Structure 1
Amino acid sequence: MSDILVIAPHADDESLGCGGTLLRYKNEGHKLHWLIVTGMSEEAGFTQERIEQRDKEIKKVADLFGFSSLTQLYLPPAALETIPIGRIIGEISGAIKNIQPEVVYVPYRNDAHSDHQIVFDAAMSATKSFRYPFIKRVLAYETISETDFGMKPEDGGFRPNVFIDISQYLQNKLNILDVYEYEMGQFPFPRSRKALEALATLRGVQSNAHAAEAFMLIKEIL
């Protein structure tokens, strides 16, 4: 069995991008690990009540997925560009050294949110094969409301080449996402049950499944 690490710029990215895949991995006996790069704080403009609620949400989501470890770096959300990239690389690298995952999931490089871009770049430095030989596979996930709005003219767009059948896990994924009270909304809001079901159906059609999650394979060592 493998150790699987999902790197989330913000709590909820793990569920949006690969929640069904994580549930499938857990059911198959793999060990799951969750690294959240940013965190709410009063300095970042959040109330103590909101911070406490988010802490409860994270703990509940961690239990529902059955993560073997949860690491939070508590870097400022929507402000990673104000932090030296070396510090971000160092903190992600430290977590990876402790976990020693075989498979790592990262956000897509050209998402609209700058935090996703920075986390991807830092993760690439923190998954170099000569420093972290235990990592055999790195994949980028899509985050609805971010990946689909990353409209850089020079970007070819999210072009998945790995699909994972989550037909048995889709509804559980959506139920877990509902834990994030302030992140989910009513259709046509992108982070809604209907929109997420539609995306899973589309990825399923592309891979001959009823529902799937799609990824871009960044690196694989066989």
Structure 2
Amino acid sequence: MILTTDLKKTIIVAPHPDDEVLGAGGTLLRRKRDQGAQIAWLIITGISETAGWPAERVAERNAEIEQVAQFFDFDAVYRLDLPPAQLETLPMSEIVGGVSKAFQEFQPEEVLVPHPADVHTDHRIVFDAVASCSKWFRYPSVKQVMAYETLSETDFGLIGLEPFRPNVFVDISQYLDEKMKAMEIYTSEVGDFPFPRSYEAMRALAMMRGAASGYLAAEAFQLLRSRD
């Protein structure tokens, strides 16, 4: 496959808020600021009071999403608000329908999606739903699909699927510090090292991917499909 680089509309599909920062925060900033692309954020799950979450936590999460949307200057934000850690209980048609509606409205050329071997069931289900919405004859705008890696999910998978094998590396050297600032918005999701979702681990992964590709810092992706 040949990587398509002249893309003007990128959507990142995040099973949960924070996946977009962990997996592609630097890349999204590059797409928006350096390449002049439009970027969109599709959030699959959401917490609510009706599902038993405290009102203050729901309000805090909504505020986090709003802050992240402003930080990245997303051109569009789509929220399905499906129950987290319960996607396997829902009809796949409901999830696919939500993804389809966002794709039809935004008309993305590039789709960033969680890896199918991630340990979290939500990630695997979201991948399958997005795969259904990448057929060229139904979604002709989609030219490229890449899987991103998510700390504490991609690196903890034990199932017998093909592991994450990065073959695309995006230089985020000038955006690594901003990626860290974006993650600071999700205060409850960050822990002390060696917790996987720590600033030290995020920086170490970026430096390791950078060392593999000749940059000071990089984000890695697995190119799944490219139409040029």
* Fold in common (TM above 0.5): yes
Query: In 1, distance between residues paired with 2:134 and 2:104?
Result: 10
**Secondary structure, aligned partner of 1:185:** coil
The runs of at least 4 consecutive aligned structure 1 residues that moved more than 4 Å come to none
2:199 to 193, 209, 214: 193
Deviation at 1:157, TM superposition (A): 1.5
Structure 1 unaligned segments of length 5 or more: list them.
none
TM-score by length of 2: 0.95
1:148 to 155, 171, 180: 155
Matching of residues 1-222 of structure 1 within 5 Å: 2-28=8-34, 29-152=36-159, 154-222=160-228
Structure 2 unaligned segments of length 5 or more: list them.
1-6
Query: In 1, distance between residues paired with 2:62 and 2:138?
Result: 33
Which amino acid in structure 2 is aligned with residue 182 of structure 1? Answer: S
Deviation at 1:155, TM superposition (A): 2.5
Deviation at 1:139, TM superposition (A): 0.3
Q: CA RMSD in A?
A: 0.8
Aligned partners of 1:204 and 1:210 also within 8 Å: yes
Query: In 2, distance between residues paired with 1:178 and 1:184?
Result: 8
Query: In 1, distance between residues paired with 2:50 and 2:120?
Result: 20
Aligned partners of 1:22 and 1:65 also within 8 Å: yes
Aligned partners of 2:64 and 2:185 also within 8 Å: yes
Aligned partners of 2:117 and 2:162 also within 8 Å: no
Aligned partners of 1:127 and 1:135 also within 8 Å: yes
Deviation at 1:181, TM superposition (A): 1.2
Deviation at 1:156, TM superposition (A): 3.4
Query: In 1, distance between residues paired with 2:44 and 2:37?
Result: 23
Which amino acid in structure 2 is aligned with residue 55 of structure 1? Answer: N
Task: Quote the sequence identity (%).
Answer: 52
Deviation at 1:99, TM superposition (A): 0.3
Deviation at 1:46, TM superposition (A): 1.3
TM-score by length of 1: 0.98
Deviation at 1:41, TM superposition (A): 1.1
Query: In 2, distance between residues paired with 1:44 and 1:121?
Result: 25
**Secondary structure, aligned partner of 1:140:** strand
Query: In 2, distance between residues paired with 1:192 and 1:64?
Result: 20
Query: Which deviations, in whole Å up to 9, do the C-alpha atoms of 1:50-85 show, x marking residues without a partner?
Result: 000000000000000010111100000000001000
How many residue pairs get aligned? The number is 221
Query: In 2, distance between residues paired with 1:197 and 1:44?
Result: 35
**Secondary structure, aligned partner of 1:169:** helix
